[in-house]
Amino acid sequence: MKKGQFGYIRTMKLKSGLSAAILAAFAALIFYLGIRLFPDSRTLVGIVTVLICIPAAMVLVRFIMFMRFPPGSKEVFDIIEADRGGVPVFYDSIITTPDKSYGVNAFISADGSLLGYTEYPGVDIPKLEKHIKDIFLANQYKDLNIKVFTDREKFVDRLKALSGRYTDPGDGAEDAVLHLIGRISL
């Protein structure tokens, strides 16, 4: 499953959890077999084991980051899909700021606007919007209106308004905006 598709968080939890478990088991197996087969080379066996543990630890950190966020709601996905028309959407995003990470169910990009909806509790909307705006400004997007909603009805109303008048300009601008969201998303 690719970033931006509904179910990405669920898939990444499973994938990173299994990867971490397999790598940790492999490291333990290498250590055990190394000690048994090469009792005089414990230092070398230890070094090889540690080298295997490094990617395992990196995958474990990724797993922990994904475990902090429940998967996006299927109900929200169905509502957005029913009302979006041809408006491009990026689902299941985790945006990491210097202070905290925030889950966002969906981002839509149309008509010079980037709109997000989050059902996750504890999202500091002004801080998240400022972080996203700063990243887009650093990437030469000066006129992009960025708004993240916690009220589903307001988000859906805005989505309906955008999708009602949306025609794909064909220049790839909306896709480029969502591509950058994918780049800054976990």
This prediction has a pTM of 0.86
pLDDT at 65 over 80: yes
Burial class (CB in 10 A: 0-12, 13-18, 19+), 91: buried
pLDDT of residue 43: 86
The answer, yes or no, to whether residue 106 has pLDDT greater than 90, is yes
Mean pLDDT of the chain: 91
The rounded percent of the chain whose pLDDT value lies above 70 is: 99
Strand partners for 112? none
- Give pLDDT, residue 42: 82
Per-residue pLDDT, 93: 94
Query: In this predicted structure, what is the pLDDT of residue 114?
Result: 94
Is residue 186 predicted with pLDDT exceeding 80?
A: yes
Tell me how far the alpha carbon of residue 184 is from its chain's centroid: 8
| CB-CB contact of 116 with 104 (8 Å) | yes
Average pLDDT on 19-29 reads: 92
Query: Mean pLDDT across the stretch 60-79?
Result: 93
- Per-domain boundaries in the chain: 8-67, 74-184
pLDDT of residue 172 exceeding 80? no
Residue 62 pLDDT exceeds 80: yes
pLDDT digits (tens, 9 = 90+) for 109-162: 988 889 999 999 889 999 999 999 999 999 988 889 999 999 999 999 999 988
Alpha helix ranges (H) inside the chain: 8-37, 42-67, 74-83, 125-138, 152-165, 173-184
Pure H helices in 68-151: 74-83, 125-138
Does 173 have pLDDT greater than 80? no
Backbone angles phi, psi at 94, to 5 degrees: -125, 110
